[in-house]
């Protein structure tokens, strides 16, 4: 009995030793305990997603928006800017420059304010188009600007703010609204559009005269009269 127990115990111990050795060997071969990084720090592949086509409608053009812009509504939106900017004539600079008379002036042209190099090197003037782009995304317009404001996402809000800015010191001429596209029409789809007379409409004098001037049927020489007095034409 003891021999059988000792034999079984020996096989169990031997199996355990084999399993432990295999585990150690596989760990050494596959570097299971190693914390080495992949070369160049690349832990995987970056999969770029394709941009979706056919996004939201761009909406009315800038000229159309400005044609109906409201300075009073823009003043309410400008309240978000008043923490950093003054707008009255002669107002002091704050975190941002005074904005009186900004529209139409040089970008980063307000004297006495230290602009970021991103904006001071931008060049150009505050046209309606440039101001619209700036109000939509300051960092998108001038990457590296010190202005932390995220921007106004609604085109109507931007148009109203620009109208308010224009009321405080003037502005250049507004861009014209885009011309409306003409509607497609099919010839002859309405009374009088196609050739010929229209049913239920009296002919004008010229048409009546033309009709009267048309050749009328003339009785032939061999015309005969039947018994009822009607004229018959061969």
pLDDT (mean) for 82-108: 95
pLDDT (mean) for 16-44: 53
pLDDT digits 0-9 by tens, 40-66:
333 333 333 333 344 455 689 999 999
pLDDT confidence of residue 222: 53
pLDDT digits 0-9 by tens, 144-166:
999 989 999 999 999 999 999 99
pLDDT digits 0-9 by tens, 96-150:
999 999 999 999 999 899 999 999 999 999 999 999 999 999 999 999 999 989 9
C-alpha count within 13 angstroms, C-beta hemisphere, residue 111: 1
Q: Is the pTM of this model over 0.85?
A: no
Positive or negative, the Cα torsion across 138, 140, 146, 148?
positive
* DSSP secondary structure string for all residues of 25-55: HHHHHHTTT--PPPGGG--S---PPPPPSS-
Walk me through the domains of the chain, giving residue ranges and CATH numbers.
62-167 (1.10.760.10)
pLDDT exceeding 70 applies to what percent of the chain? 55
Print burial letters for 110-121: b (CB count within 10 Å at least 16), e (below 16): beeeebeebbbe
């Amino acid at each position: 009995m003891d021999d059988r127990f000792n034999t079984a115990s020996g096989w169990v111990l031997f199996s355990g030793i084999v399993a432990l050795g295999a585990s150690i060997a596989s760990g050494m071969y596959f570097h299971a305990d190693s914390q080495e990084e992949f070369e160049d720090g690349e832990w995987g592949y970056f999969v770029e997603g394709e941009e979706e086509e056919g996004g939201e409608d761009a909406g009315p053009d800038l000229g159309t928006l400005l044609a109906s812009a409201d300075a009073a509504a823009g003043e309410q939106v400008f309240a978000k800017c008043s923490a950093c900017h003054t707008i009255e004539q002669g107002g002091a600079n704050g975190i941002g420059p005074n904005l009186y008379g900004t529209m139409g002036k040089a970008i980063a042209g307000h004297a006495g304010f230290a602009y970021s190099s991103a904006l001071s090197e931008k060049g150009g003037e505050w046209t309606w188009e440039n101001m619209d782009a700036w109000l939509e995304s300051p960092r998108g317009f001038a990457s590296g600007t010190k202005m932390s404001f995220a921007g106004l996402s609604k085109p109507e809000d931007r148009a109203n703010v620009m109208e308010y800015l224009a009321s405080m010191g003037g502005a250049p001429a507004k861009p014209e609204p885009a011309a409306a596209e003409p509607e497609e029409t099919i010839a002859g789809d309405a009374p009088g559009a196609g050739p010929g007379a229209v049913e239920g409409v009296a002919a004008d004098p010229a048409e009546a005269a033309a009709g009267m001037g048309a050749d009328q049927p003339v009785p032939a020489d061999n015309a005969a009269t039947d018994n009822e007095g009607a004229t018959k034409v061969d």
